[in-house]
A and B are shown apart, each in its own frame.
Chain A
Amino acid sequence: MTKEQTDLKENLLMETSESMDEPLYMDQDRYIAELKATILDAASRCRNCNYCSIGCPLSDSTRGFISQSPSGLMQSVKYGIRWDMLENEDREDLRNLLYLCTTCNNCVLTCKAKATAIPILEIIQAGRNLLRELMIGPLPEQRKVLKDIYINGNPYGENPATRMDWLGDLAVKRLPQDQAEVLLFVGCTTSYDSKLFSLGRKMVQLLDALKVDFGVLSEETCCGHPARVIGDEALFQEKAAQNVDKFLKSGVKTIVTVSPHCYNTFVKEYPSIGQNIKVQHYTQFLAERIQKYPVKWRIPLPRMVTYHDPCYLGKHHRIYEEPRELLRAVEGIELVEMAQSRENSLCCGGGGGRMYTEVEDNPRLAETRVGQAIETGANLIATACPWCHTMLRNAVEDMNLQEKIEVKDIAEILFEAMGIH
């Protein structure tokens, strides 16, 4: 964005919250035309076989209307464009459909394996970008998220000055003022959700115990993923530019993320950093580290554990084994699989901007997932994503199952097993 655009946007933001609806591109007509062309081209390759509905959490969790399947979303936005309906009285119908998607990637994998390999998520994303440009999207609750990211650098509207409060009295290097080999990118949810503060702290202590030379950014900001999936490409690009600059200035060789969403963003959507800095999700980093420098597990954990694959690790990056290797390494843990696991894993429902809005009927996806976990006989759900953690924990509480099962991040489990104090 040019300075003029930034200034204009800032001024608009200061006036009213609705001003977030203002288009952010200089050549908006061209951008809209490009989005429409992308959608029409890709969607015209869909042969309506409906295979993409197999395993789609929406098709499974909603009432079964076919427009809510991945192919349905694609065809809807295609005909919205082709029949010139984007801005008519049905515009909110289309918006509500497109923002249902959790972006779990199941449909993309299925279409590639069984049908015509359409980049379905790219079409849904382009559809959201288009609706955002036309001031139809996102959903009302998500507009605040965009504003909060823009103003505060996080989707929760929290004061950026309190971003490091989760650390408490723990000492950790601050980059770029300090030097370190590894940057731990904590992410907004772990930084601001008080129920996840201990996850952040345990992660820090775990890395310390494993003698990793690491630090955190002294001024960490959102990776931009929520802005992108909600459809605000300009805001995403702005956050990306800020982060790339900070990463390069930090001088680190490796970035380790707590969240699979940040990981996905840095790996897939910040193409320039991959050439200079290795990016890993913490489960990958720890699995490598522990294999290289075996650790002493001081506290046996005799528990039956089932692992919930976060979509942005599993279905997006096929990282299935490293989290399981970490769990299997802990003495006492009996790892059991849910009926749906790995590439068939059921989404928790938090992706695609749905963390910020209630979009589905009961039972929620996370509740269905907890039910699957209970069926295994496990008393602990392990996961490796702050959003999955939050969604599943809330589901356990809503279902009054706290006595039967709890939710922990793998980092918390490793922390316990290593007997770190």
Chain B
Amino acid sequence: MAVSSESICEALERIVSRKYVSGSIYERIKNAIDPFPYEALKEQVPYATVMPANAEEVAEILKFANEKKVPVFVKGSGTHLGGASRPHEPGIILSTHRLNKMEFLEDYGFVECGAGCSCASVAQEVERRGYFLPMAPGSRLVASMGGLVSNNTSGHIIDTSIGKPGDYVYGLEVVLPTGEIIETGTMGLRRPAGTEMTKFFVGGDGLLGVITKVRMRLLPAMKRAYGVVVFEDVVAMARGVQRMYVEKRPAPLLMEFLDRKTAKVGYTIKGLEPPPGAVIFFVATGNTHQEATGKVEMILQSFKAEGPQSADLIESIELWNKLWSAREVIGTFLMQEGKQWSAAEVVSNLKSLPECMAEVLRFNEGLPLFGQLELFIFGHIGALTFHPGVLIPREWDNDRKRQAVKERFQREAELNLKYRTCGGEWGQFSKRTNFWVQRYGQVSYELVKKMKAVFDPNNILNPGILEGYR
């Protein structure tokens, strides 16, 4: 069989109902683009999109793909900020859209959901039932559970507080690239000791299998209290965060940073007086409101030792909501002229945080293209993470945009290598494999390639994410 869109569709229609297969050129093009600022390339347009209803259909699709040596790209909502949702060559788009069942097993202490459920829908139902899970990527409104778990990203939530989604994943249903279905983990509340297959797939960058179902432990919701600090000197602000950890303050649930310019944008849109310096907002949790408030006050003490312009407990939930929404609208507002946001993910270690902050302020200095653009900085400073970013003009051609993005990744890699850290939100390999090899060495890289070869001998699943491997 010669590979063509028609022949692939015909074969897929023998596996899933015809109405869940599309060979439409327009469906294929839409699946060839992602939030990266450059245009679709004709040579990357997929052959077809298919929407399986269950693991068995996923398995059949993968078996067919192996037989015909056709790549399969798994697609949730396609919001990955590291290029993992853009296919690099023609293949089959396997949409998880129909893997959307959600079941609460509260008598077991779990929620089980299909990979295609949106994080927002799961989080909403989790919260409605009095629970909470660390799932707050920027794209949470549309991001899928499969993507979230494959990246093991908690977004705003700070790892040192309640951990990442993977810390709550107690089991998975996975289809291996060769088409076998496996179950991992446990139905008990005690995690397996020793070899635990779940770990291969949580944060697995989509290299080793297709996650079709996720089982997560339900964490009871906590009371919250809020704080805000403003500093003229951002390096002193970073020392405040450092002090918070060194002085053994309880880690906040989330702690966001906005440089003064970026904060001014958000505050102004929300009708608030712009702050006189850079801002940190944070949330502490406790079993009681009093406990949460006490934690906020303890954290504020650490900041007060570094000479802030202000350091306050926020008692009004309305004010907190306004401040939070000021943070949320910034990217939206900045992009409304049509420019596209492109930000790095620089992660410091605790000891170097003030130094890292100073370097992030100069992030784009000397970069030929990225350096031409105005820098805005925000980040999850409680997780020692910064997102220095620029707005890429839409008028730039594809090559220029690609070059600017490449410069960004290179500078990000330099800093993360220097601080011996790595990105904590956007996966490790897509667009970052060079960094990974430098960070963890050729031996580790070769091991990952061997592992990929064992799981996926024909390199069928999401090829291109593990760059340099064919």
**A contact residues vs B (CB 8 Å cutoff):** 44-45, 47-51, 53-54, 63-67, 69, 71-72, 75-76, 79-80, 82-83, 85, 90, 93-94, 97, 113-117, 361
A366 nearest CB across to chain B (Å)? 20
Please choose the segment from B23-31, B61-69, B107-115 that sits at the chain A interface, where 4 or more of its residues have CB less than 8 A away: B23-31
CB-based contact B35/A65 at 8 Å = no
A90 to B335, CA, bound (A): 32
CB-based contact A115/B332 at 8 Å = yes
Please choose the segment from B164-172, B336-344, B360-368 that sits at the chain A interface, where 4 or more of its residues have CB less than 8 A away: B336-344
CB-based contact A114/B26 at 8 Å = no
Identify which of A44, A50, A76, A114 contacts B77 (C-beta below 8 A): A50
Identify which of B24, B49, B141 contacts A93 (C-beta below 8 A): B24
CB-based contact A90/B25 at 8 Å = yes
CB-based contact A66/B30 at 8 Å = yes
Identify which of A66, A80, A85, A361 contacts B31 (C-beta below 8 A): A66
A355 to B462, CA, bound (A): 42
Q: Does B97 contact A (CB under 8 A)?
A: yes
CB-based contact B25/A75 at 8 Å = no
A51 touching B335 in the complex, CB below 8 Å, given contacts A67-B24, A97-B26: no
Most buried by B among A45, A80, A82: A45
A90 touching B26 in the complex, CB below 8 Å, given contacts A45-B338, A47-B35, A63-B19: yes
> Can you name the residue of chain B whose Cβ is closest to the Cβ of A76?
B26
B123 nearest CB across to chain A (Å)? 14
CB contacts (< 8 Å) of A72 on chain B: these are 26-27, 30
A64 touching B95 in the complex, CB below 8 Å, given contacts A50-B142, A53-B142, A94-B26: yes
Q: Does B22 contact A (CB under 8 A)?
A: yes
A64 touching B51 in the complex, CB below 8 Å, given contacts A48-B35, A90-B25, A117-B336: yes
A79 touching B40 in the complex, CB below 8 Å, given contacts A64-B95, A66-B30: yes
A403 to B446, CA, bound (A): 69
A45 touching B142 in the complex, CB below 8 Å, given contacts A64-B95, A64-B98, A97-B26: no
A153 to B344, CA, bound (A): 58
Secondary structure at the B interface, as helix, strand, loop or mixed, is loop
A361 to B340, CA, bound (A): 36
> Can you name the residue of chain B whose Cβ is closest to the Cβ of A89?
B25
A62 nearest CB across to chain B (Å)? 10
CB-based contact A51/B95 at 8 Å = no
CB-based contact B335/A66 at 8 Å = no
A64 to B114, CA, bound (A): 15
A119 nearest CB across to chain B (Å)? 11
A406 to B348, CA, bound (A): 62
CB-based contact A44/B26 at 8 Å = no
Q: Mark B110-124, 1 if CB is under 8 A from A, else 0.
A: 000000000010000
Q: Mark B75-107, 1 if CB is under 8 A from A, else 0.
A: 101110000000000000001011000000000
Identify which of B19, B24, B33, B338 contacts A75 (C-beta below 8 A): B33
Number of interface residues of B (CB under 8 A): 37
CB-based contact B335/A67 at 8 Å = no
Identify which of A76, A83, A114, A361 contacts B30 (C-beta below 8 A): A76
A-B contact pairs, 24 of them (CB 8 A): A44-B394, A47-B335, A48-B35, A49-B35, A49-B139, A49-B142, A51-B142, A54-B120, A54-B141, A54-B142, A65-B22, A65-B49, A66-B27, A66-B30, A72-B26, A76-B29, A76-B30, A82-B39, A90-B26, A115-B335, A116-B336, A116-B338, A117-B336, A361-B19
Most buried by B among A54, A66, A83, A361: A66
A48 to B34, CA, bound (A): 6
7 shortest interchain CB distances as A-B pairs: A45-B338, A64-B97, A76-B26, A67-B27, A67-B30, A67-B26, A116-B335
A372 nearest CB across to chain B (Å)? 16
CB-based contact B26/A93 at 8 Å = yes
A69 to B78, CA, bound (A): 13
A90 to B5, CA, bound (A): 13
Q: Does B37 contact A (CB under 8 A)?
A: yes
CB contacts (< 8 Å) of B142 on chain A: these are 49-51, 53-54
A44 to B49, CA, bound (A): 24
CB-based contact A51/B26 at 8 Å = no
CB contacts (< 8 Å) of A45 on chain B: these are 335, 338, 394
10 more contacts with CB within 8 A, not counting A66-B49, A90-B26, are A48-B35, A48-B78, A51-B142, A65-B51, A75-B30, A76-B30, A79-B29, A113-B332, A115-B332, A117-B332
A67 to B75, CA, bound (A): 13
A85 to B29, CA, bound (A): 12
Most buried by A among B40, B120, B341: B40
Q: Does B128 contact A (CB under 8 A)?
A: no
CB contacts (< 8 Å) of B394 on chain A: these are 44-45
CB contacts (< 8 Å) of B20 on chain A: these are 63
Residues 31 to 80 of chain B near chain A (Cβ within 8 Å): 31, 33-35, 37, 39-40, 42, 49, 51, 75, 77-79
CB contacts (< 8 Å) of B39 on chain A: these are 82
CB-based contact B78/A66 at 8 Å = yes
B119 nearest CB across to chain A (Å)? 12
> Can you name the residue of chain A whose Cβ is closest to the Cβ of B29?
A79
CB contacts (< 8 Å) of A117 on chain B: these are 332, 336
CB contacts (< 8 Å) of B29 on chain A: these are 67, 75-76, 79, 83
A63 to B49, CA, bound (A): 12
CB contacts (< 8 Å) of A113 on chain B: these are 332
